[in-house]
Structures are given as structure tokens and as C-alpha cells.
A = this chain, B = another copy of it.
Amino acid sequence: MTQKRSTAAPTIEPPSDDQAYLQIGEVAERTGVTQRTLRFYEEKGLLKPPSRLEGGFRLYSEDDVRRVEQIKQLQTLLGFTLADIKEMVEAEEIKSQIRAEYRRDAEISERRAKIAKATEVTERQVAVIDHKLRALGEMKADLERKLAQYRTWTQMLDELEAAQKSG
């Protein structure tokens, strides 16, 4: 029998809430990237080191899965480098920090600074996206002009053939 370990509860280490933790294989399958890629992203600081099972097995959260999907989007669809993406991911980290500090008492000026920083980074990202949106729009318009041209040519060939038949 091909045995498959039950999606077991973490034996130790993970922030002892009752989340559904996933091993690297599951995450790989769900996200469509390889295990190597997941380790590589961790090594490069794109994914925070996940919690571990006592044996050393990585245990990922659903949040981690979402992050991986986000990274793949940014990379394959939008052509950002992992370095770019790391910056963006770090902005996400800042957001988490802000949320964490929200409950606790923290220097207001410090909180302001972090929010300002996060705002700045996010605005740069929006600008980049706007740039790409415009470029893509122009590109699409070009392609549709071409398609229109092709339709015209096809029609001309139709008429030419019709003339030949009736001629």
C-alpha cells in the first residue's frame, strides 16, 4: 500500500495554535513550484524561515502558501526579479509589524515612520504597475491594429477569388 502520512498536527515548535500546517511537499504541489524553489526562496529571504517539526521538517502556514503564489505572479506574469520581489515582500513585513504594534504601546513617531515607509514603497509599486499597464495597453492596441489588417487582407483575397470565379 502506498502509505501517506496524515496531515499531522505539528509535534513541536510551531506557534502553538491549531492551524493546518503543511509540509514542503504539500506546499510544492499546491503552488506548482518545486521544493527546491521553496528552499531557495527561504534562503534568499523571500519566505521567512517556517516553523519546524521536531525532526527538522519545515511546516508552512496558509499565509506562506499565499505568499508563494504572490511571488510566482510577480515573477512569471510581471517579470520582476527576485530582488525586486524581495523588496516588495519586505514591505509586507512592515505591514505586519505595524499591525503587531497597533495593539501594543509603541512610539507614535515610530509607527508613523513605518507607515510612511510602507506607503512610499507601495506607491512606487503602483507607479511601476501603472507603467506596465500603459505599455501593455499600447502593445495590445498595436496587435489589434495588426489583426484588423489581417482581416482586411483576408477579405481582399475573398473578393479576389469571387471575381475570378464570376470572371
A110-134 vs B: 1/0 string, CB under 8 Å? 0110010011001101100111110
Task: Decide if B133 touches A136 in the complex (CB within 8 Å).
Answer: yes
Interface check A12, CB cutoff 8 A: no
Task: Decide if B130 touches A95 in the complex (CB within 8 Å).
Answer: no
Task: Decide if A153 touches B115 in the complex (CB within 8 Å).
Answer: yes
Chain B contacts of A136 at CB under 8 A? 77-78, 129, 132-133, 136
Closest to A135 in B: B77
Chain B contacts of A133 at CB under 8 A? 133, 136-137, 140
Closest to A102 in B: B153
With contact pairs A73-B139, A78-B79 given, residues A147 and B131 touching in the complex (Cβ less than 8 Å): no
Chain B contacts of A83 at CB under 8 A? none
Task: Decide if A115 touches B77 in the complex (CB within 8 Å).
Answer: no
Chain B nearest Cβ from A94, distance in angstroms: 10
> Which chain A residues numbered 120 to 167 have a C-beta less than 8 Å away from chain B?
122-123, 125-126, 129-133, 135-137, 139-140, 143-144, 146-147, 149-150, 153-154, 157, 160-161
Task: Decide if B77 touches A132 in the complex (CB within 8 Å).
Answer: yes
Chain B nearest Cβ from A129, distance in angstroms: 5
Closest to A91 in B: B146
The CA-CA distance from A150 to B120 in the complex, in Å, is 10
With contact pairs A108-B160, A137-B133, A161-B108 given, residues A154 and B115 touching in the complex (Cβ less than 8 Å): yes
Q: Which of B79, B130, B143, B153 contacts A126 (CB 8 A)?
A: B143
Task: Decide if A146 touches B129 in the complex (CB within 8 Å).
Answer: no
